[in-house]
Amino acid sequence: MARLSSHFTEEEARCRCGCGRMVVNDILVRLLEAMRAAAGHRPVVVHSWNRCEQYNKKIGGKPDSQHLYGKAADVSIKGVGVAQLAKFAESSGADGIGTYPKQGFVHVDVRGYPARWEE
Ligand SMILES: [Zn+2]
Ligand SMILES: [Zn+2]
């Protein structure tokens, strides 16, 4: 199990369709580590990270999704609500932050400019 950092693996970063796509963005990896630390070093559950175009379409991702470039991850932390998690994302320096209360995760990305939304 190859590691990208102390707490994240290649397995977690790979596209979930089985295509093997995995672009590693170091800024995003550092952001995820910072969020983990902000939450009291609790494990970050990765719902979605890299996506190929086909898989992104299949799950209804935005056509220009940052997931296509390996710059976004949808994550949750057990015992931490999405609003609180969004705050951790904020203090950890995420560019894009999308909260998905119904699905129970927060989208974070490192697109290079701020973006905020809630679904
Ligand atoms: Zn794929
Ligand atoms: Zn996302």
What is the identity of the amino acid at 105?
F
Closest ligand to C-alpha of residue 117 is 2
pTM score of the predicted model: 0.96
Domain of residue 50, residue span: 10-118
Q: Could you tell me if residue 112 is inside a domain?
A: yes
The percent of residues in the chain predicted with pLDDT above 70, rounded, is 100
Q: Could you tell me if residue 2 is inside a domain?
A: no
Q: Could you tell me if residue 32 is inside a domain?
A: yes
Q: Say which residue the tokens 């995420």 belong to.
A: 94
Q: Could you tell me if residue 1 is inside a domain?
A: no
Q: Mark the residues whose beta carbon lies below 5 A from ion ligand 2.
A: 72, 74, 107
Q: Could you tell me if residue 110 is inside a domain?
A: yes
Q: How far apart are CA 23 and CA 28, in angstroms?
A: 11
40 alpha carbon – ligand 2 mean position (Å): 23
Closest ligand to C-alpha of residue 17 is 1
For residue 1, pLDDT over 90 is answered with no
51 alpha carbon – ligand 1 mean position (Å): 5
Contact residues for 106 (Cβ-Cβ < 8 A; gap 6+): 74, 75, 76, 82, 85, 86, 89, 97, 98, 99, 100
* pLDDT tens digits along 16-25: 999 999 999 9
15 alpha carbon – ligand 2 mean position (Å): 12
Half-sphere exposure for 119 (CA within 13 Å, toward CB): 11
Q: Which residues pair with 118 in a beta bridge?
A: 99
Closest ligand to C-alpha of residue 70 is 2
Integer-rounded Cα Rg, in Å, for the chain is: 13
* pLDDT tens digits along 19-73: 999 999 999 999 999 999 999 999 999 999 999 999 999 999 999 999 999 999 9
Q: How far apart are CA 3 and CA 91, in angstroms?
A: 25
Q: Are 84 and 35 in contact (CB under 8 A)?
A: no
Number of domains in the chain: 1
Give the CATH number of the domain where residue 29 resides.
3.30.1380.10
15 alpha carbon – ligand 1 mean position (Å): 5
* pLDDT tens digits along 68-97: 999 999 999 999 999 999 999 999 999 999
